[in-house]
């Protein structure tokens, strides 16, 4: 059992971004850069960042980025990641 403040728990977790790319080759560029990818829908890719924003920004610089949105994780998703299990919540 762990006791942590909810705010510190959320701030220590990875952040999720939806990146809309110009081509399928851009998607492969992100994968090759070693980024943690989630759902992929055509040219929109969910990317998870855990503190290494330099790697994320450098990988995006090599792509044609058409859109970038932050994905707000639910509290359940934060807890599931904290305890080592990905939430299957859509």
- pLDDT, one tens digit per residue, over 17-40 is 999 999 999 999 999 999 989 899
Residue 44 maps to which CATH number? 3.30.70.100
Short-list 49, 42, 46, 47, CA closest to 22: 42
Confidence class of residue 13 from pLDDT cuts 50, 70 and 90?
low
Q: Which residue has the higher pLDDT, 46 or 86?
A: 46
Residue 25 lies in a domain: yes
Whole-angstrom distance, CA of residue 2 vs CA of residue 35: 28
pTM, to two decimals: 0.68
Residue 53 lies in a domain: yes
Q: Residue 62 sits in which domain range?
A: 15-72
User: Domain total for the chain?
Assistant: 1
Residue 86 lies in a domain: no
Residue 79 lies in a domain: no
Q: Is the pLDDT of residue 76 over 90?
A: no
Q: Is the pLDDT of residue 60 over 60?
A: yes
* Bridge partners for 18 per DSSP: 46, 69
């Amino acid at each position: 059992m762990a006791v942590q403040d909810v705010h510190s728990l959320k701030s220590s977790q990875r952040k999720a971004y939806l990146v809309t790319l110009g081509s399928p080759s851009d998607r492969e560029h992100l994968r090759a850069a070693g980024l943690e990818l989630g759902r992929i829908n055509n040219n929109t890719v969910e990317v998870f960042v855990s503190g290494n924003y330099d790697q994320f920004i450098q990988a995006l610089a090599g792509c044609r980025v058409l859109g970038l949105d932050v994905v707000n994780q639910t509290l359940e998703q934060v807890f599931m990641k904290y305890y080592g299990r990905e939430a299957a919540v859509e």
